[in-house]
A and B are shown apart, each in its own frame.
Chain A
Amino acid sequence: MYDKTVRRRRAALLIFVALSIGLLTVYFGESASGGLHAVQRGAQEALAPIEEGASRAFKPVRDAINWAGDVFDAKSENKELKDEVAQLHEDLAEAQTAQREAEQLRSLVGLPKDELFPQGTEPITARVIARSPTSWQSSIQIDKGSGAGIHEDMPVVAAGGDGGGGLAGTVTSVSGGTATVTLITDESSAVSAQVMPDGAAGIVRPTVGDPSDMLLDFIEKGRPVSTDTTVITSGTRSDRFESLFPRGIPIGQVTEVDAEERELYQRVHLEPFADLKRMDFVQVLTRRGVEQAQVLVP
């Protein structure tokens, strides 16, 4: 009797472990159009209404708890924001002047106008209905899918904590009524980017576990990068690597520059503009600029 119980218990464990490993193996081995991926999309579609209902129902509770935490940070943040507003007023004046000049120059050389963000894009607003609970995979589910015109590889932007906003991720899987967005903080993410205004180009990669610190790699030592400058998507296009993002989506602000003696490249730290920890809504940019400017990564 005892042996039978022990055998039954061990058999159950073996079956569940073998099933898990089998699922992992098949899932990694198949393409995105494979059977398990299709089952996954179907499950997401089926669970979406429940997740959306739960997300809406518990939003007041969630906001109340998060508000309590925010109050502690508000005082110090207030002073920083006032300084930032003053700085932004100056930047705005400069940007408006630069934009006017750029428009005049563009009309002179006949460049297409709709290549940049946001002019070349059509945003669709979607509600975040679920998100990954671990730091190892950063993804969210949204309540709009192919039925709303969303397709894989479309860029997604989100609002920032201080009212701004920036790049949040890309659509990696779509079903009729839902889509999965892999965030730029996911370990698989890599975004070709440029530091403004001098145009030093590199690749923005995440630091797993710290969504407020990202790395801009492959910036040569000879290109000086200063803190507080803005990093945008470069929208590169080449035979080997084509950027998924249109040019000009703000990604973040440079916070620190590491220049190690032995390294060929500088390591630039940046803080993303989008508040990736708390997102209730995002915008999917459904139309990309047809003719993107070709910017080569050095």
Chain B
Amino acid sequence: MIPGPSSVIRVGLMILVAVVFQIACLVQIRVLGGTADITPLLVAAVALYAGSVPGAATGFFTGLLLDLALGTNLGASSLVLTAVGYGVGRYREQRDPSHGLTPIPVAAAATAAYVLAYAAVSFMLSIDAPVSLLVVREMLITVLLNALIAMPFFAITRRLLRPVLLVEPGPRARRDSTISSGPIGLRGLEV
């Protein structure tokens, strides 16, 4: 990502819109007893297209805004989403995924990591009440719903980020197929 105020403003606005949309609208739409959560999706998408450092920064500020807006434990969401952003960014830097369906497993893995890590942090901080097994079902539904909306969500994020990206992500150039016929020693060469 090109460092500068343009990138900061662009990503900042995306964070604001995603957080407000999540807590004011999306959380009230229940499908099969669960809800989609676009905050880990945004962090994963930015990390996938921009790398680990922008991913971690997006995770931190998304979590911070989420905790500020909801009045929940300040820092808990930031901690978890920072780790999610960094993890997805490192995956992109090491593996350079180019498959068109990459957003789906990335979204599912990022959401699963987020809900599990957030549950662990919540347990460590203050959970005294008994916990229902329905929590697990709700987590699974969130992961499933996020995987379902991953393709359009990542496409929109990519379009919005495109002007500030250093390298335009896209399908890797396909190599020409090697020629398997011809004399031994010259196989693979144009003769």
Contacts and interface: CB of A to CB of B under 8 A. Distances in A.
Interface in B38-65: 39, 52-53, 56-57, 59-60, 63-65
Contact of A20 (B20, B37, B79): B79
Contacts of A50: 16, 20, 24
A40 B118 CA distance: 20
A24 B23 contact: no
B129 interface: yes
A16 B56 contact: yes
What 7 pairs across the A-B complex have the smallest Cβ distances?
A209-B135, A23-B75, A24-B75, A210-B132, A20-B79, A136-B122, A43-B68
A65 B73 contact: no
Interface string B94-119: 00000000000000000000010011
A210 B134 contact: yes
A230 interface: no
A20 B75 contact: yes
Nearest to B82: A16
- Give the interface centre of B26, B57, B78 by most chain A CB atoms within 10 Å: B78
A24 B73 contact: yes
A284 interface: no
A36 B74 contact: yes
B69 interface: yes
Contacts of A210: 132, 134-135
Interface string B157-189: 000000000000000000000000000000000
Contacts of B127: 136, 187, 208
A144 interface: no
Given A9-B52, A23-B78, A55-B24, A278 B69 contact: no
A295 interface: no
B22 interface: yes
Given A36-B74, A58-B21, A134-B122, 5 more contacts: A9-B52, A16-B57, A20-B63, A133-B39, A141-B71
Number of contact residues on A: which range applies?
Answer: 35 or more
A185 B129 CA distance: 10
Contacts of B72: 132, 137, 139
Interface class of chain B by DSSP: helix
Interface of B: 16, 20-31, 35, 37, 39, 52-53, 56-57, 59-60, 63-76, 78-79, 82-83, 86, 115, 118-119, 122, 125-135, 138
A62 interface: yes
25 contacts: A20-B79, A21-B79, A23-B64, A23-B75, A24-B125, A40-B71, A47-B20, A47-B68, A55-B24, A61-B25, A65-B29, A66-B28, A66-B29, A130-B23, A131-B27, A133-B26, A133-B27, A134-B118, A134-B122, A139-B72, A180-B70, A205-B130, A207-B130, A208-B129, A209-B134
Interface string A16-49: 1101111111011000000010011101100100
Contact of A62 (B25, B37, B69, B115): B25
B20 A131 contact: no
Contacts of A135: 135, 138
Contacts of B67: 40
A51 interface: yes
Interface in A123-170: 129-137, 139, 141
A69 interface: yes
- Give the interface centre of B53, B79, B129, B138 by most chain A CB atoms within 10 Å: B129
